[in-house]
Every structure is written in C-alpha cells, then in structure tokens.
Structure 1
Amino acid sequence: MTINDPFARLPEVPSFTVTSTSVEDGKPLLPAQLSGLFGVPGGQDASPQLSWSGAPDGTKGYAVTVYDPDAPTMSGFWHWAVANIPATATSLPEGAGDDTGSGLPTPAFQLPNDARAPRFIGAAPPAGHGEHRYVITVHALDVEDIGIPTDSTPALLGFTMTTHILARATLTATAETPAA
C-alpha cells in the first residue's frame, strides 16, 4: 500500500518553521485535539497552538490547514482550514478554532471542515482502522486575501492557493482508536 502524501501533486516550495505546545511532530495527539463532538471520550476539539517563523520575504498572508490523508474516504478528511491570516501573525493560541474563531486575528476566517462546521474538529479515527496522520500546515502566501467565499471548502482553498504558496511549514501528529 502506498502512503498518501498530501503534497505529492503540489509544486515544491521551501519550508519554514512551525512549532506547537499542543502537538509534537510524529507523536500522538493529546485529548485536547481529539473529537468529543465525534464521540471520542475526553476529546475537546481544541485546535492546536501554533507558532511559526522564517517565512520568506514577500509573504503577505497565511493559511492554516489540518488534514487526515488516512481517513477511510477517497478524499481524506479536512479537520480545519483558516484563510486570510495576516502576515503580521506568527502564532495562534490553542482553541483559536472554536465555534466563533475567537483566537483568530482579523480578517482571518474558518472554512467549513468536512463535517461542514466552520471550526476545528478533532481527530476521531474509526476503531480498528489503524494509525491516522494529521498533517498540520502553515502556508505562507503571496497574497493578503485568497479571494474565496467564507463557505468554501478546504479543497477549494487548497486549489486556489496552489499558485500563491511561497513556502509551507508542517507538523504531522497521529491518532488511533483500538478495535473494540
């Protein structure tokens, strides 16, 4: 079986640094980033804290996405997508992706995720499906406003920003629900 690489068909771009006090690259997500809304005991659906640095000159804005390429669908599962984060932002607090986007800087907005909720939805891999990867990405863009409606899908955000990405910073965390 080939591992689904969400960046395989995208243009190669430089990287910069993203860190988190909520998520450790290559490690399991904590209960705060699991989905109580999808029935995971102790799950809090709190978007992870993110800090970034080293974006290239010419960065005019950012987008943040959280994607599970291992979901049992033909298209993975988008857990969070935020557009129009200003270039002056260098971090998001844990929980910024709540129902109101309370921790997002103006004029950033959340797009509906694959559960059709404009918020962060935590991990909830099906029981016995194996380990899932959660690809958390900060995209440095050459535009302030990506020019999509607030009810767009994360896939449309990804398609629209493909030609505007100057660099990307990524953390990948995991989650697994044991078979019952």
Structure 2
Amino acid sequence: MSDKTPTSLRNQFLIAMPNMADPNFADSVTYICEHNENGAMGIVINRPTDMTLGEVFAQIGIDSDEAIAHQQEIVCAGGPVQLERGFVLHDSRDNWESTLNIAPGINLTTSRDILQALAEDRGPQQIIIALGYAGWGAGQLEDELKENAWLTCEASPEILFETPIHLRRQAAAASIGVDLQLLSPDTGHA
C-alpha cells in the first residue's frame, strides 16, 4: 500500500470554517503531514505563541549565537496534542535523525539535531517551529469534513514559509478563490 491513499489530505491545508466551535482550531489553518486509514496528523501554522526559538534553545540547553537569524523566530502552537513536543517544518533537503519527507521542499523533523544545527546557523533557512500537533483518529477528520468544519486546499511552500503568520489562513483560502470574510458561520445541507 502506498503512503498516500487516493483520499489522503497529506500536503493539504485544512482551513477552519467560520462555524468551527473547537477553540483549538477556530480561525486556524493546519498543514496536514500525514493522513491514512489510521488517522491524520498536522501542524497548526497560524497560532503564534509568545515564545521565540532563542527561548527554546535556552530551555533545552542549546548554546546559540545571539546573532543567528532564527533566534527571534516565533514558535507556533502546533495543536492541542503533546504540547511539550517540538516540531520543525522546513524546506531543507537534509535528513535529520527524525525527518518525514512530506512533499518536495517540505519536511517535518522532530529530533534535537535540527535545533542544534539552527543554533549553529547550519540548518534549513525556511522553517516553522511548533509546539504540539493536531491529531485525528481513524475516520474522525473525514467526519469533520462531512460536517463542513473545514475547507481543504493544496499546500504551498510559499504560504508555509514566506507568508506572515497572521496572513496564512487568508492566503490559503485565497489560493482556492475563497474570501473568508464572505463565508457565513451557519451551515446547511441540501
């Protein structure tokens, strides 16, 4: 069996609809890293925390040069699951100790070696750092889609890595011609 089923949402954005009641996902855009018959896993990419990568370095005991470009990188709240666990979405072709290649130019790494490389200014240049992730059990995400909780669209490295955090949701929706300001929070089924 391939790692991408015909209905897989891997390498897609999930854009929360205006009627999203779950406060963990209201007004969010989530990048789906894995989706198969066992469930789905993603990283919310538009929820900044008040923490920087430099603070993460300090907390886990990694010495870093204050001049490193990523020192002031904002850490995102990646989702409500395992909030103490760090994730790095990045563009690097390098493979670290624990890297999942999601799509061309988009990878997810969870091992400390990538943080050490970033602290030494030898890591990937385009990154999103997140604490926690979003997870769905088997069939759960599909049920939420049937209930019109999410819009989906193809992900792009430009939206992930080049669009400011606060504009990512609007940019993802605009990529499929949707203006979120015009969507009603009420849902219905014909």
TM-score band, normalised by shorter chain = under 0.3
Larger helix fraction of residues: 2
Normalization by structure 1: what TM-score? 0.28
Normalization by structure 2: what TM-score? 0.27
Q: Which has the larger radius of gyration?
A: 2
Larger strand fraction of residues: 2
